[in-house]
Amino acid sequence: MKRNFTLFLALLLAVCFFAAGNASSEELAAEQIYRTYLWEEPFTLDNILNSQAQGEVVLRDLMEPLTRLIGNPDGSYAVEMAGAESYDVSADGLVWTFKLRDNKWSDGQPVTAEDYAYALRRLVDPATASTSADFVDCIAGWDEVYNNGASPDELGVKALDDKTLEITLSEPVFFFECLTYSQFLTPQRKDKVEEWGDKYGSDAEYIICCGPFKVDSWTHNSSIVLSKNEYYWDAASVILEGIIWNIFPDQNTQMNASEAGEVDGCEPNDDDWLNLFLSKEGMQRYDVSYQTVGYHMYNCEDELTGNANIRRALQLTIVNNLEDMCETIWPGTWFPVYGWVVPAITVGEIPFRDTLGDTTKEIAEASGDPKALLLKGMEELGLGDDPAALDLTFTLAGTTQKHHEQGEYVQQLYKKELGIDLKLDFVEYGIFSSSIAPAGDYQITALTWGAYYNDPCDVLRVLISSFDWHDGHWANDTFDGLMRQAMSELDAAKRLELCSQAERVMLEDAPVCPVRYQWQANLYQPNVRGAVPTSFGNEGFKGVYKVITD
């Protein structure tokens, strides 16, 4: 099922009967605790090391970026000042100067410009081993520090005084403002990072916060409890006294808790649950197309998946069955996507996916029988002509019910369509990301990736060969060159063309197989106000509160 982004905006207005309320027009509830859930345990709440969606959604309320991207009920966005009260950009677009607010950490110490500068230096320092360092490669000195052994002090970030942060870019780039509301431009306390070492971000006692909330407790694999940060610069506008993040890996647990009123918002994953909730009086619904792509990744350094024809056979078999796969495993919430860039992403005002069409479907139609490609690849490797003899394992980075359903579906599909006896391996995401992926100890895996800002460059750039996140070990000089041009191209139409070419080059070589994107119904209990889920918004629960309802 193809979703049109323009249609999405129209539907958003049609189905949404929930808008942020005005706290002064309704009586506030006595209890101001918001209860929600995570699909899995965050492996860290260190904002420099986190690369997991479950960690990011918690960090939105713990740390204060320079700006925040705020979503509106009509689907539009606005950048608002957050940790910074203002900023200036030099005439040549290279020097960004931020004036900071009088914010404080959760222990009462002032947040300084040096805290933001230190976090960026730590992000880029190779010794930190952050998989997100490449996202700020536009900052002057990045290459010298990250690739050539220069001191992190050589990075183009400077605290001019306690309240003035200066960031110098190596060249003007269209997306730098988008980075100011990402987790990468949130501060860190050097004294705490050095005091706690590897424990930083691992437990409640090893986390210090400067956002609307702070961590009270973290019962691993059970819950994370937040309370209001009284030292936060805008604490007077934060009505919630706390947030409880329950960790519910099983969707039935999530939905049963929601149905019982034990959580205040949920995302039903099938039509039966959705219809049940909508039958309850007063439930509020808000539909949104998210910026996340779910995909399969092939290890290009492995003997089997390093062969392009074998990769194409695996990829195109999935592409030819995407409709059934999504309807079987993720009915009503995840939908087939036939390109790496999902429908929520635009270039300026131009919807990228609508402009490009269904890239992998077109490739599949032109490529013929996937099994013929598999046999051709086996012949190239001298492996005979019996696919059942191939030693191929699908490693899934998660152990939830949905991970098992996905693995078993692919296992049966590859047996039926290709004759492969696929093995399955399920591991926790933290183990996969910290040891299995960097070591290249897998052949096929299934992951998700979400854009930090609204442009195809954000999701395409992670496949550049030098990008540290990219554990598929794929390299293509043509793709790299197109993306380097696109990231420095200020003209939206030209950037669209470069990204379009890059996506096709990448998908034809098949280092990944895009599978799904999320079109989610967000439901809220009748007494919740101020929640506006959006594709790219990062406001967290700062503006949420509860009222008394009849």
Instruction: Assess contact for 169 and 94: CB atoms under 8 A.
Output: yes
Residues 235 and 366 in one domain: no
488 domain residue, yes or no:
yes
Strand order in the sheet with 213-219: 33-38, 242-247, 223-228, 213-219
The string of pLDDT tens digits covering residues 529-546 is: 998 777 776 678 999 999
Predicted confidence (pLDDT) at residue 550 exceeds the cutoff of 90? no
CATH number of the domain within which 56 lies? 3.40.190.10
Which of 227, 249, 271 is where one domain is finished? 249
Give residue for tokens 């986190």. 50
Q: Under 8 Å CB-to-CB from 321, ≥6 apart: which residues?
A: 413, 417
Calculate ∠ Cα 434-435-439, nearest 5°. Answer: 125
Model confidence at 469, pLDDT cuts 50, 70, 90, reads low
Collapsed DSSP state (helix, strand, coil) of residue 17: coil
* 3-class SS string, 432-499: HHHHHHHHCCCCEEEEEEECCCCCHHHHHHHHCCCCCCCCCCCCCHHHHHHHHHHHCCCCHHHHHHHH
Average pLDDT over residues 76-89: 91
Instruction: Assess contact for 543 and 528: CB atoms under 8 A.
Output: no
What are the residues facing 225 on neighbouring strands?
217, 244
Residues 319 and 239 in one domain: no
The pLDDT assigned to 267 comes to 79
DSSP state of 174: T
The string of pLDDT tens digits covering residues 22-58 is: 445 789 999 999 999 998 899 999 999 998 888 899 9
478 domain residue, yes or no:
yes
219 domain residue, yes or no:
yes
Which of 226, 249, 272 is where one domain is finished? 249
With residues binned 3-state (H G I as helix, E B as strand, rest as coil), the percentages for the chain, rounded to 5, are 40, 20, 40
Closest CA to 132 of 77, 58, 59, 52: 52
The pLDDT assigned to 468 comes to 64
44 domain residue, yes or no:
yes
Predicted confidence (pLDDT) at residue 122 exceeds the cutoff of 70? yes
The pLDDT assigned to 6 comes to 34
Predicted confidence (pLDDT) at residue 150 exceeds the cutoff of 70? yes
The pLDDT assigned to 509 comes to 97
Predicted confidence (pLDDT) at residue 143 exceeds the cutoff of 90? yes
Instruction: Assess contact for 167 and 100: CB atoms under 8 A.
Output: no
Predicted confidence (pLDDT) at residue 12 exceeds the cutoff of 50? no
Rounded Cα distance, 29 and 406, in Å? 42
Model confidence at 287, pLDDT cuts 50, 70, 90, reads confident
> What's the domain count of the chain?
2
Closest CA to 295 of 44, 49, 55, 510: 510
Average pLDDT over residues 258-268: 83
What are the residues facing 267 on neighbouring strands?
none
Average pLDDT over residues 58-77: 85
16 domain residue, yes or no:
no
Predicted confidence (pLDDT) at residue 17 exceeds the cutoff of 50? no
User: Cα dihedral sign for 299, 46, 77, 82?
Assistant: negative
190 phi and psi, to 5 degrees? -60, -40
The string of pLDDT tens digits covering residues 157-192 is: 999 999 999 999 999 998 899 899 988 899 999 999
Residues 350 and 484 in one domain: yes
365 domain residue, yes or no:
yes
The CB density around residue 425, as the number of other CB atoms within 10 Å, is: 17
Instruction: Assess contact for 513 and 536: CB atoms under 8 A.
Output: no
State which residues form the domain around 195. Answer: 31-249
Residues 386 and 237 in one domain: no
Model confidence at 11, pLDDT cuts 50, 70, 90, reads very low
Residues 512 and 379 in one domain: yes
Tokens of 547: 């009222």
Q: What is the mean pLDDT of the chain?
A: 89
CATH number of the domain within which 428 lies? 3.10.105.10
Which of 232, 249, 266 is where one domain is finished? 249
Average pLDDT over residues 12-25: 42
Predicted confidence (pLDDT) at residue 310 exceeds the cutoff of 90? yes
The string of pLDDT tens digits covering residues 398-420 is: 888 889 999 999 999 999 999 99
Residues 232 and 375 in one domain: no
The string of pLDDT tens digits covering residues 341-393 is: 998 888 877 889 999 999 999 999 999 999 999 999 999 999 999 999 999 99
Residues 201 and 142 in one domain: yes
19 domain residue, yes or no:
no
Residues 202 and 337 in one domain: no
Residues 237 and 300 in one domain: no
Model confidence at 1, pLDDT cuts 50, 70, 90, reads very low
Instruction: Tell me how far apart the terminal alpha carbons of the chain are, to the nearest angstrom.
Output: 40
68 domain residue, yes or no:
yes
